[in-house]
Structure 1
């Protein structure tokens, strides 16, 4: 039986607040050149990774994340939101006139588990797990929602994660490769339209 890594539950009101924080952080950066400040020490259990994904007219417009971070979740979401809007090398920086049309999606990650290559096809559940593959200083990561969006099976998901790292598609089979599985709580402004509100949840800026 394939295991599931159950993520901690983020209540709906907290999801909406985090989305609002991400939007207000992007707005402050685009309109006022204010970047998020570091916040207080994280709460117990807050040591988690996160990704912020931006979509415009149904297309990817930016995505930046960290697999784990010592920062409080509020700080991490605010910083990653600004980076997704301004530093994704695949896209030009987001412009102020695009802000209202952008949809923000957050993926809050569980701690990753290293899985041997011999076991990964039995352990990996597409639509449940995200994958990271590391080899020789290169690392690729794809979020859990990517495989079902693209119609990939587990084998293809591993190959595409390798390609994301700039590695050959079968690099995950290399004895020196490190394969990590994780899950994520994924939610967006499509589900929580209050994320467009101006409340920043106490986030400070400089």
Structure 2
């Protein structure tokens, strides 16, 4: 864990370390910039092993908490301990994690799938109460069709169901 990382990532690392090692939810400290307390955005915290393999990813599409610093803290803990695809991160794994934080733009309704580009835009697909999300620039996702199919599969949306599509961009921090 080096200081060359973005402050958002340093904060996420501190949060995960304290929670995984001590089951402690840490308070905000003076190393955090004032702007983090004033911004409200959705964000995702992603954990990868150093070999690139996904280890956890949880986030919010729109803000749920009072500010970005809380949003990052809660999503970091959830990514490390509540991603249903993985068991909770153990203290032994902490040194093998690479953490990134994605800050989401506002959602924009898509009128035509030609507007999409999986390298640039993430997607939210919605059908009734079902909703699936896929971040942009995911390794192995090269086409709009692949991106939409993965998001629909995550949501449990079938081909014949009505579909609303929204796009967003992210600022990804390492």
TM-score, normalisation: structure 2: 0.86
Alignment of 1:72-111 (within 5 A): 72-111=67-106
Higher relative contact order (CA 8 A, sep 6+): 1
Alignment of 1:147-158 (within 5 A): 149-158=139-148
The Cα of 1:28 is off from its aligned counterpart by: 0.6
8 Å CA contact retained: 1:163, 1:169:
no
Residue deviations 1:84-143 (CA, integer Å, cap 9, x gap): 000001100000000011110111100101123xx1x22112211000001121110000
Pairing 1:67–2:80 present: no
Whole-Å separation in 1 of the counterparts to 2:25 and 2:159: 38
The SS at the match of 2:6 is helix
Residue deviations 1:30-61 (CA, integer Å, cap 9, x gap): 11211245899941xx2211000001132100
8 Å CA contact retained: 1:109, 1:182:
yes
The SS at the match of 1:150 is coil
Return 5+ residue gaps in structure 1 as ranges. Answer: 1-12, 189-206
Q: Give the count of matched residue pairs.
A: 165
Residue deviations 1:149-180 (CA, integer Å, cap 9, x gap): 11431122112211111112564xx2xx2211
Pairing 1:47–2:37 present: no
The SS at the match of 1:128 is coil
Specify whether residues 138 and 64 from structure 1 end up closer, same or farther in structure 2 by C-alpha distance, changes over 3 A only. Answer: same
Aligned CA RMSD, in angstroms, stands at 2.3
Return 5+ residue gaps in structure 2 as ranges. Answer: none
8 Å CA contact retained: 2:126, 2:132:
yes
Residue deviations 1:67-89 (CA, integer Å, cap 9, x gap): 01142111111111111000001
Whole-Å separation in 2 of the counterparts to 1:104 and 1:75: 17
